Amino acid sequence: MLKDFSRSAVWFGRVLGPLLAYREARALALLDGIRGVPRLLRKVSMRALLIEHIDGIPARAMPPGSVTPELFDKLEELVRAIHERGVAHCDLRSGGNIVVNSAGQPYLVDFVAHTVRGNPLWNWVFRRFCQADLVAVLRLKKRLAPALVSVDDEHRLLSDRNAILPRAARMIGRNVRNISRLVFAKNK
């Protein structure tokens, strides 16, 4: 699959394209070899990457009740594996960045929003993003297979919903995305 930011709106592609391509390539390189993460085949240009194609459907498009408990076990294991490598995805809430193939193997795609481990202060932030990734898995489970949600899962979801830091992070992310679209995406 060719991920080419140069085909975006002019200013978006020129200004943010190289940064987004760099971020995606960095994450895929750090996660190379993890089953459930597409491989970076090569960097085509400073704005384009060739990435392994994943044949599957986005989790958000799956009908409720169509998944097995094993899917969520595999998905949680995959998310923990990327965290162990020092990467938090930071954009799993919508379910569009989780793709499930015909064999029921989940894949995580689109790592441009990721963050990595860093200094001790940043590691505290990194751990919060890791928690947000895991809560996103629980939210998906609640939507697709509510019967699988345990009392502990419900407690974690409620705690996340009421916590200030996750709400602030969602608000900041939404505003950055909206401003980027407003400033960069209208210049075709």
Asked whether residue 111 is assigned to any structural domain, the reply reads yes
Whether residue 156 contacts residue 138, with contact meaning beta carbons closer than 8 Å, is answered with yes
**Cα of 10 vs its chain's centroid, Å:** 25
pTM for the model stands at 0.85
Q: How many domains does the chain have?
A: 1
Whether residue 20 contacts residue 112, with contact meaning beta carbons closer than 8 Å, is answered with yes
Q: How would you label 123-135 residue by residue, b for 16+ Cβ within 10 Å and e otherwise?
A: eeebeebbbbbbb
Average pLDDT of span 141-167: 84
Asked whether residue 11 is assigned to any structural domain, the reply reads no
- The span from the CA of 184 to the CA of 53, in Å, is 27
Least-confidence region, from 89-98, 117-126, 141-150, 175-184: 175-184
Q: Residue 184 pLDDT more than 60?
A: no
- We report the CATH number of the domain holding residue 141 as 1.10.510.10
- The predicted-structure confidence for 100-124, as pLDDT tens digits, reads as follows 999 999 999 999 999 999 888 889 8
Range of the domain at 133: 56-184
Asked whether residue 35 is assigned to any structural domain, the reply reads no
**DSSP secondary structure, 70-131, as one string:** HHHHHHHHHHHHHHHTTEE----TTSTTEEEETTS-EEE---TT-EE--SHHHHHHHHHHHH
- The span from the CA of 82 to the CA of 23, in Å, is 15
Q: Residue 180: its pLDDT value, please? A: 61
Asked whether residue 122 is assigned to any structural domain, the reply reads yes
- The span from the CA of 153 to the CA of 150, in Å, is 5
